[in-house]
Structures are given as C-alpha cells and as structure tokens.
Amino acid sequence: MNLQVSPTTLLLSFLLVIVGIVIAQRERLGTAKEIIYSISRAIIQLVIVGYILTFLFGFNSPIVTIGMVAVIGFNAAYNAHKRSQGMAKSLQISMIAVFTTLALTLIILIFSGSILFTPSQVVPISGMIAGNAMTTIGLCYRNLNTLFRDQRQQILEKLSLGATPSQASHTILREAIKSGMQPTLDNAKTIGIVSLPGMMSGLIFAGVVPTTAIMYQIMVTFMLVATTSLASYIASFLAYTSFFNDRDQFIL
C-alpha cells in the first residue's frame, strides 16, 4: 500500500490549526495572530529548506557539510540568545554552548562509524542536537533571570558576608542547569510509553531490522541527554557572570 500526503490531507489537517485559532480568539489569549504567523512562516521555511536540502544532499563535499552545520548552529545560538532578555554576551555564550555540543557529539558519532560525514546524515543529526541545545539554553537563560531576580536579597547577603559571585550563585546555577535538562530527561523516561520514538518508528517503517532501529534510537537518546547536560552546564556557568560587575558587585 502506497501512503501519500495529498493537498486534501493538508487541508483537513489545517482544520486542527483553525481549532487552535478559535480557542485563542474565544479565550482572548492574544495568540491567534502568532499562530497564523508561525504556521505561515513554517510552511515557507519548509518549502525553501526542502528544495535546498534536496539539492545539497546530492553533494558529498566536506565543505558543504561543515557549512550546513555552521548555519544550523548559528541559527540555534541566535534564537537561544534572543531568549536571554538582554543578558550580556548571550550570543557569544550561546555560540560556545551550541558549537561545543555539536562538535563533541558529531566527532563521537562519526569516528564510531554510526554516521557518515555527508550532508544527508550529518545535517539531520546536527538539527536534533542544535534544536535541543537551543531549547535548553533558552530555559537556562529564563531561569537565571528569574532566580537572580527572586533571590536578589539572598545574593546580596551572601556577598556582604564575603562570598564570591560563584559561591553566592551556586544554588541558582544548580537549579538553572537542572531546569534546562529536565524536559529531555522527562522525555527519556517516557519514550516508548508516552511518546513513540520518531527515528525508531521511521526506520522500522522503512524496513530496517528492529534491532538496528532500536540501537539507533538508544544512540539518539544518549546523544540528546548528553547534549542538554553539556549545553545547560556551559550556558549557565558562562552566563551567571553577567549578573556581576568587575568588582564582584551584583548588578541585576
């Protein structure tokens, strides 16, 4: 049986989006325009990127592969930076966190023989890594801002008693790192029970031996947990210093 997605299928599935718009309007959530904008942007981006990837996947050039990974990494870092609420050097921090996780993960996967250094294999994996790192870093930024604001008095008291910025921020850093990792950890605990793993299901659907599909999904799970752990750690420890000046004074 040949399965196809037709324009009729897309039209019917768009009805679900309309339900979301109706709910937003009915409850006055103020998100109806954002839903329309997001969906429109997604369609345009997917059409453009789909044709670009079809063209680029025909090349096995290392330069093309590195260039596409760089574009993915920069966009992830830039979007994470936008969630920092004006935090100093957030773009540089995001770049360091995203590209560190990309480099380490890809090096392990490529040298272990799990994937080949070609656009068709490296780019999708890079997208997963960078996307998860972006979400994690954004959560860390948000929680750092919230926690430093809510615990301002405690920070000032610790500093007045002689604590260094690192010592005064230790509890906040620990909470920010944990919160950045939590969504991925929750997903790992429920994968296969609540959410069906996309890669494993797709490989089995494509006719791959179940054992191989399972091993690839386990590899992806390891990869994503490691990505969020590393990204949240790097982002939090580099970003907290922006809440203090050169004289170790708190400057929320």
Q: pLDDT tens digit string along 103-143? A: 999 999 899 888 888 888 898 899 989 999 999 999 999 99
Residue 149: pLDDT over 50 = yes
Q: Residue 196 — very low, low, confident or very high, per pLDDT cuts 50/70/90?
A: low
Distance CA 153, CA 22 (A): 44
3-state helix, strand, coil in the chain (%, to 5): 75, 0, 20
Axis crossing angle, helix 32-56 with helix 7-26, rounded to the nearest 10? 150
Q: Please determine, for residue 98, whether its predicted confidence score (pLDDT) is greater than 90.
A: yes
Q: Is the pLDDT of residue 11 over 50?
A: yes
- Residue-wise pLDDT for 207-245, tens only, equals 778 788 888 888 888 888 999 999 999 999 999 988 888
pLDDT band at 197 (very low <50, low <70, confident <90, very high): low
Above 60 in pLDDT, residue 150? yes
Residue whose entry in the numeric block shows the structure tokens 């090349």:
59
- Residue spans of the domains in the chain: they are 1-56, 62-243
pLDDT at 147: 92
Q: What mean pLDDT value characterizes the chain?
A: 87
Q: Which of 169, 158, 159, 157 is nearest to 238 (CA)?
A: 169
* pLDDT at residue number 1: 47
What's the whole-number mean pLDDT along residues 95-104?
95
Q: State residue 28's pLDDT score.
A: 84
Confidence of residue 203 (pLDDT cuts 50, 70, 90): confident
